[in-house]
Amino acid sequence: MHYEIYTIKGRKYKYAVENYREGKKVKHKKTYIGALEPIHKAKFSAQSAITFLINNAKVNLY
Protein backbone atom coordinates (compact mmCIF):
# COMPACT_ATOMS: atom_id res chain seq x y z
CA MET A 1 0.00 0.00 0.00
CA HIS A 2 1.15 3.54 -0.73
CA TYR A 3 -0.31 7.05 -0.60
CA GLU A 4 -1.05 9.35 -3.51
CA ILE A 5 -2.06 13.00 -3.61
CA TYR A 6 -4.62 14.05 -6.21
CA THR A 7 -5.54 17.59 -7.19
CA ILE A 8 -9.25 17.93 -7.92
CA LYS A 9 -10.65 21.36 -8.86
CA GLY A 10 -7.56 23.03 -7.38
CA ARG A 11 -7.70 21.27 -4.01
CA LYS A 12 -5.37 18.50 -2.85
CA TYR A 13 -6.66 15.22 -1.42
CA LYS A 14 -4.80 12.21 0.00
CA TYR A 15 -5.69 8.63 -0.96
CA ALA A 16 -4.36 5.25 0.21
CA VAL A 17 -3.81 3.02 -2.83
CA GLU A 18 -3.67 -0.77 -2.55
CA ASN A 19 -2.58 -2.76 -5.61
CA TYR A 20 -3.84 -6.31 -6.15
CA ARG A 21 -3.95 -8.78 -9.00
CA GLU A 22 -7.00 -10.32 -10.66
CA GLY A 23 -5.71 -12.91 -13.08
CA LYS A 24 -3.14 -11.15 -15.26
CA LYS A 25 -4.43 -7.64 -14.53
CA VAL A 26 -3.26 -5.38 -11.70
CA LYS A 27 -6.14 -3.51 -10.06
CA HIS A 28 -5.98 -0.52 -7.72
CA LYS A 29 -8.23 0.07 -4.72
CA LYS A 30 -8.22 3.73 -3.65
CA THR A 31 -9.41 4.74 -0.20
CA TYR A 32 -10.03 8.41 0.60
CA ILE A 33 -8.00 9.64 3.59
CA GLY A 34 -8.81 13.35 3.68
CA ALA A 35 -8.19 16.83 2.38
CA LEU A 36 -4.67 18.22 2.75
CA GLU A 37 -5.68 21.88 2.74
CA PRO A 38 -8.46 23.44 4.80
CA ILE A 39 -11.62 24.43 2.93
CA HIS A 40 -12.22 27.52 5.05
CA LYS A 41 -9.18 29.73 5.36
CA ALA A 42 -8.82 32.35 8.09
CA LYS A 43 -10.01 35.82 7.13
CA PHE A 44 -7.25 37.51 9.11
CA SER A 45 -3.61 36.67 9.42
CA ALA A 46 -2.07 36.99 12.87
CA GLN A 47 -0.47 40.33 12.00
CA SER A 48 -3.68 41.85 10.65
CA ALA A 49 -5.62 40.57 13.68
CA ILE A 50 -3.16 42.25 16.06
CA THR A 51 -3.30 45.49 14.06
CA PHE A 52 -7.12 45.36 14.13
CA LEU A 53 -7.15 44.90 17.92
CA ILE A 54 -4.67 47.74 18.50
CA ASN A 55 -6.56 50.16 16.27
CA ASN A 56 -9.95 49.36 17.83
CA ALA A 57 -8.91 49.08 21.47
CA LYS A 58 -10.55 51.46 23.95
CA VAL A 59 -8.35 52.18 26.93
CA ASN A 60 -9.42 54.00 30.08
CA LEU A 61 -6.46 55.61 31.80
CA TYR A 62 -8.47 56.82 34.81
In 3D, which of 17, 12, 13, 42 has the Cα closest to residue 27? 17
- Whether the full predicted model's pTM is greater than 0.75, yes or no, is no
Return the SS3 of 22.
Answer: strand
Give dist(CA 52, CA 55) in Å, integer. Answer: 5
pLDDT by residue for the chain (62 residues), tens only, comes to 899 999 998 889 999 999 999 999 999 999 999 998 777 766 656 777 777 777 777 666 56
Alpha helix (H) residue ranges in the chain: 46-55
